[in-house]
Amino acid sequence: MDPSPGIGTFSVWDYVVFAAVLLISAAIGIYYAFAGDSRETSKDFLMGGRRMHPVPVALSLTASFMSAVTVLGTPAEVYRFGMIYSLFGITYFLVVVITAEVFLPVFYKLGITSTYEYLELRFNKYVRLCGTIFYIIQTILYTGIVIYAPALALNQVTGFHLWGAVVSTGVVCTFYCTLGGLKAVIWTDVFQIGIMLAGFVSVIIKAVLIQGGISTILNDAYNGGRLNFWNFDPNPLQRHTFWTIVIGGTFTWTSIYGINQSQVQRFISCKSRAQGKLSLYINLVGLWTILVCALFSGLALYSRYHDCDPWTANKISAPDQLMPYLVLDILRDYPGLPGLFVACAYSGTLSTVSSSINALAAVTLEDLVKPHFKSLSERSLSWISQGLSVLFGVLCIGMAALASLMGGLLQAALSIFGMVGGPLLGLFTLGILVPFANSIGALTGVLAGFVISFWVGIGAQIYPLLPERSMPLSLETYGCNITHNATDWMSTTEVPFSTSAFQGHSAERTPLMDNWYSISYLYFSALGTLVTLFVGVLISLPTGGRKQNVDHRFLLTKEDVLSNFDIFKKKKHVLSYKSHPIEDGGTDNPAFNHIELNFRDQSGKMDGTHL
């Protein structure tokens, strides 16, 4: 079964479908730029006026971190390492509960635009500056990988032009972010998650038909040892076990969901706190749906190529290209469907990049521009936030060029989140849950966290894991009718998901490499968080942390936890500060009132800036 001679190529219809997805995304941006909503304020542009409905926000939350990394990386992960990745389903549940019950209540009641404003309110401006700078670095790095990786995978298999794809992605995202603000980002995400699901479903249905039913796919997976759901080995050096995924994964993803500006900005844009929580719980269903699709695609991949692995047979050059290869193999007789799948991978990219650009603009405006230029009018701020969107779009395209040196997709992306997100998660947790933490402790803690997690993270990039730690499963080529001598498989996967251009392959491996640098990449975040918390508490106690008086709004209080049960009590909502009539939604949010949102001229008409 050698699909190579008959493997399809990209047809005209595929390009048409792909272009249509990009155009519709751009059109949504144009629509929100010219639609009648007042865009006088920069907050309206960056926060959607805090009147968003929970369902589109939930779908947007799902889309923005289900990037092409998920579409291409997860099926390849299952193909090579088996179904243990499915344990992330438990991780997502824990993450959503922690975010909705610990972080959302505090951020929502303060009504902030940038999550890093919290750090100044709770500690001081230096802590805020530190958080902001690290966030900007992390997001630009991550976004570069997200733009570049799918372009590379698709280019090598479909012949789709590499830099054409990279630049078109960056330009379209920058375009609709700059014009339409957060509303455009959220509604394009909703459209793009539809495209992602359509792409997955078309691949899964066709694979099931070709392989002769779901039972065949599951049998092949069982015989190939791919149905390995449980591994309770407590060793932190094993790449994926129950503990690394559930504990380490929860830390990594909480730093993405709980405190990452691009996610917080979305659930704070809901009309009320209850709707913000609801959007998170609906998003959980979305996360599970996409996870199931990606896992099943991985099993379908294995079933199709269990006796002829295209990677070992040198038909593709990296595991990330397995999904596009499968698509061109099984959907070649359906013009337009391979294009739909490429659009599916790109929708993941577009949604992530657009949320990053919008979040970077929000953070830079709130944390770096406003504090230093207090006299700027709202009109100027609105223009500046659009200018920032363009600037960050260009920076992310530039970063994609650097990402071309990094290789290996899923792990590189999560490693960056772990290395930077871990210490930041520790910093916010210190502020919200530790009343006696002070600014000296916070700053020392977060810097210690960064030093430790960067030390491990960069060491792990230079000295990759040994195969016995990552436990790749066997791949066969006996079914291929290939004449050249296929290299011994273990030698081709010596460096699983090789994530670096600068690996040090020294003959001697020191204990430092085999232990400290070999720690599972999912623990980078946990390590950063715990070091930050530990050092922060240790330094705060002797430096007067217990004497300070902290405003209860900055902490998670008993009232915040019990507010979930307010539905059963018939009492008025606490936020009854408004004496004017309620004209529209968004009034539950203390960050906004109508005087700020609705600028009316003498005739009583809305004065919106229409570009």
pLDDT (tens digit, 9 = 90+) per residue, 66-86? 777 788 889 999 999 999 999
Residue 206's pLDDT is: 94
**N- to C-terminal Cα distance for the chain?**
57
Q: Which residue has the higher pLDDT, 586 or 43?
A: 43
| Sign of the torsion angle spanned by Cα atoms 76, 80, 83, 84 | negative
Highest-pLDDT range among 149-163, 314-328, 358-372, 444-458: 444-458
Is residue 425's pLDDT more than 50? Answer: yes
The model's pLDDT over 446-486, given as tens digits with 9 standing for 90+, comes to 999 999 998 998 888 778 777 777 788 888 888 886 544 43
pLDDT, residue 594, reads: 32
Is the pLDDT confidence value at 94 over 70? yes
Residue 246 has pLDDT above 90, yes or no: yes
pTM for the complete prediction? 0.82
Residue 374: predicted pLDDT: 82
For residue 499, pLDDT beyond 90: no
Residue 260, Cα to own-chain centre: how many angstroms?
9
Q: What pLDDT is recorded for position 208?
A: 96
Residue 263 C-alpha from the chain's centroid: 9
pLDDT at 40 over 90: no
Assess contact for 167 and 161: CB atoms under 8 A. Answer: no
> 587: closest CA among 602, 600, 601, 573?
573
- The pLDDT, as a whole number, for residue 497 is 37
% of the chain exceeding 90 in pLDDT:
33
Question: Is residue 431 within 8 Å of residue 118, measured between CB atoms?
Answer: yes
Task: Give the pair of three-digit tokens for residue 251.
Answer: 């830390």
pLDDT the model gives residue 565 = 73
Tokens standing for 528?
A: 């950063």
Average pLDDT of 154-169?
78
286-306 in b/e form (b: 16+ CB < 10 A) is bbebbbebbbbbbbbbbbbbb
d(CA 390, CA 552): 39
Q: Mean pLDDT, to the nearest integer, of 532-543?
A: 94
As a whole number of angstroms, the distance between CA 588 and CA 566 comes to: 15
- CA–CA gap between residue 348 and residue 22 (Å, rounded): 12
- Work out the mean pLDDT of the chain and round it to a whole number: 80
Q: 484: which DSSP letter?
A: S
pLDDT higher at 431 or 467? 431
pLDDT score for 498: 37
Does the structure show a pLDDT above 60 at 8?
yes
Q: Please provide the size of the chain in residues.
A: 611
**Residue 571: is its pLDDT beyond 70?**
no
Q: How confident is the model at residue 419 (pLDDT cuts 50, 70, 90)?
A: confident
Supply the DSSP string of 542-594, one letter for each residue.
TTTTTT----GGGS--HHHHHGGGGGGS----S-----SPP-SS-TT-TT--H
372-408 pLDDT, tens digit per residue, is 888 888 888 888 988 898 899 889 888 887 776 655 5
| Residue 13, token pair as written in the block | 């219809």
pLDDT for the residue numbered 267: 84
Whole-number pLDDT of residue 326? 92
Residue 493 pLDDT > 90: no
